[in-house]
Amino acid sequence: MNEVAKHEIDGWLEKAVRADLLTAGGLTEDAAALKAAGALLYPNSLRRKDDTVCCLLRLGSARALGVFGPGAGFSGESRSLPGGGRALFCALSHENAESLRALLPWTAPSPLASQKTTIGLGDRLGVAGPGHIRTLEDRKAAPVLAQQSVRELDLTGRSYEDVLDSATWAVFQEGYERPWGADGDHLKTEEWVRTALGIGFTMITADVSDYIHGEKAALHGDELLAAYAGLPASFRRTLDAEFLSLRLTLDTGEEIRFDPEGLARAALVYGEALDHAERLYRAGVEAAGEGGFDFELSVDETDTPTTPEAHVFVAAECRRRNLGVTSLAPRFVGEFQKGIDYIGDVKEFEKSFAVHAAVARHFGYRISVHSGSDKFTVFPAVGRLTAGSFHIKTAGTNWLEAVLVIARLNPALYRRLHQGALDSFERATAYYHVTTDLGKIPALEDLSDAELPELFANSDARQLIHITYGELLRNTELKRDFFSCLEEHIEAYWQALQVHIGRHLDRLGI
């Protein structure tokens, strides 16, 4: 909401007077009275700092910040209160979010390096936060509430300011004073690293996939060694000294060692990627200082799984280059497709995941699992084999839950979304790797309204909706109807998230 509607403010004041919420010059801090007036404000948001009382209000279908007292730094619609004093009714703008973060530091994100378990809860729509926070209430995990890649920003037409502010308002609304993070996800350039940290993000996921030369892994024998000989001599000397005598025994019993061919292969595939990781890390340090941000290195967007040797090579090189890695995302065996369960041999996954987790432990960072939405069959292994020390990212499933709420509560709108998704599916596959078979999705006209939610148990239908969010939200009319419906049923959406993300956490054992 960019404007606070004046008639909504008058309506609010009238109701507040009737509910006895206003004392001489301010808002009562009587929790019971505020709870009773829950439809008017979010009682958990109420905070006093010096002479200023602020809280999150509901004005009609929109939310606004209420500031009672001096409240320097906020701008909004000023009103005198019946008992004397003044109140400001502020739009949830970027400037007001900045002022709120300055007034109440816990509404700003912080680095989570010291946390054991962290979960990324990407919220492409900017409205899921309260549901996520309620899910986390009695769990031993710290949330990364703002998490967006540049691809997602493009597809949703949002900015990093907006992504961060949405999380701030959610945290404020729920009165969530524990640490939470903000992740500039899959950033590929130094400029984006500086931008995200400059805006206030506290985590960078460095995506170096464009610099990983997977094709070099196929080289063998003389060809391989000749290619290695082409690397700068000083680099080779450093690597030879670092790796050829290395005997690393992991706590799971595996021993990692490098012969000249193995080292040459790792260096050729990952050498340039490490150079780029270093550039991105230095850009981060310039912007936020050493230790001022979490640094996740992601090598997951490749075709072939990361071998244990490759993981050790990357980790050891990061250490030699003094990169403060807080988590690392390898490419695991099997398929981690968006919004559906793991595809592959679970036993094989467990075996290789155990080794990656051990490498992460050895080097002192958390293992990170990307595309972690709905991977229910492998969650127990992730929780057990890391003893709870991991980072996991979800995003698409939060969007899917929003569409599922609409399928339940507004079937006509769902049908329009579904048709729009079918019409734009082909275009959307340019951004996401999926193996969706549209032929396996029942035709809309064969389904009754009551049957629509069942589509969300169909992997192909899930992926259809999952990857087309950008196309659907680009349609102005559809976008408007989508958001107004979701806002109307926002408590149902938050409840759905509590159930669905709660199931994730249950399976992960946190």
Q: Which residues are catalytic?
A: 185, 296
Pick the closer one to Zn ion by CB: 370 or 466: 370
Regarding 8 and contact with Zn ion (CB under 5 A), the answer is no
Pick the closer one to Zn ion by CB: 161 or 301: 301
Asked if residues 172 and 105 have their Cβ atoms less than 8 Å apart, the reply is: no
Chain positions 212 to 241 lying near Zn ion, rule: CB under 5 A, are: none
Identify which of 317, 132, 353, 293 has the alpha carbon closest to the alpha carbon of residue 238.
317
Pick the closer one to Zn ion by CB: 74 or 160: 160
Pick the closer one to Zn ion by CB: 165 or 300: 300
Regarding 265 and contact with Zn ion (CB under 5 A), the answer is no
Give the CA-trace dihedral at 457, 343, 119, 46, to 10 degrees: -10
Pick the closer one to Zn ion by CB: 252 or 429: 429
Pick the closer one to Zn ion by CB: 186 or 265: 186
Taking the complex as a whole, the smallest distance from the CB of residue 371 to Zn ion amounts, in Å, to 6
According to DSSP, the residues that pair with 329 across neighbouring strands are: 298
The answer for residues whose C-beta is within 8 angstroms of residue 316's C-beta and 6 or more apart is: 242, 243, 246, 363
Query: What type of residue sits at position 194?
Result: R
Identify which of 143, 110, 108, 149 has the alpha carbon closest to the alpha carbon of residue 128.
143
Identify which of 403, 394, 495 has the alpha carbon closest to the alpha carbon of residue 131.
495
Regarding 183 and contact with Zn ion (CB under 5 A), the answer is no
- Whole-angstrom Cα distance, residue 464 to residue 159? 25
Regarding 331 and contact with Zn ion (CB under 5 A), the answer is no
DSSP character string of 298-366: E--SSSSPPPHHHHHHHHHHHHHTT---SEEEPPPSSB--TTS--BS-HHHHHHHHHHHHHHHHHHTSE
Regarding 370 and contact with Zn ion (CB under 5 A), the answer is yes
Identify which of 361, 363, 371, 383 has the alpha carbon closest to the alpha carbon of residue 332.
371
Binding span for Zn ion by CB under 5 A among 189-197, 344-352, 362-370, 481-489: 362-370
Regarding 471 and contact with Zn ion (CB under 5 A), the answer is no
* Site size for Zn ion (CB under 5 A): 2
Pick the closer one to Zn ion by CB: 413 or 508: 508
Taking the complex as a whole, the smallest distance from the CB of residue 252 to Zn ion amounts, in Å, to 24
Helix (H/G/I), strand (E/B), else coil: 230: coil
Taking the complex as a whole, the smallest distance from the CB of residue 104 to Zn ion amounts, in Å, to 32
Taking the complex as a whole, the smallest distance from the CB of residue 329 to Zn ion amounts, in Å, to 6
> What does residue 439 show for φ and ψ, rounded to 5 degrees?
-65, -20
> Two tokens at 310?
């490759």
Taking the complex as a whole, the smallest distance from the CB of residue 207 to Zn ion amounts, in Å, to 7
- Whole-angstrom Cα distance, residue 457 to residue 131? 21
Chain positions 291 to 320 lying near Zn ion, rule: CB under 5 A, are: 300
**Position with the least CB separation from Zn ion:** 370
Regarding 190 and contact with Zn ion (CB under 5 A), the answer is no
> Two tokens at 313?
């090579």
Asked if residues 42 and 56 have their Cβ atoms less than 8 Å apart, the reply is: yes
Regarding 185 and contact with Zn ion (CB under 5 A), the answer is no
Taking the complex as a whole, the smallest distance from the CB of residue 467 to Zn ion amounts, in Å, to 15
Taking the complex as a whole, the smallest distance from the CB of residue 508 to Zn ion amounts, in Å, to 18
Residues at the interface with Zn ion (CB under 5 A): 300, 370
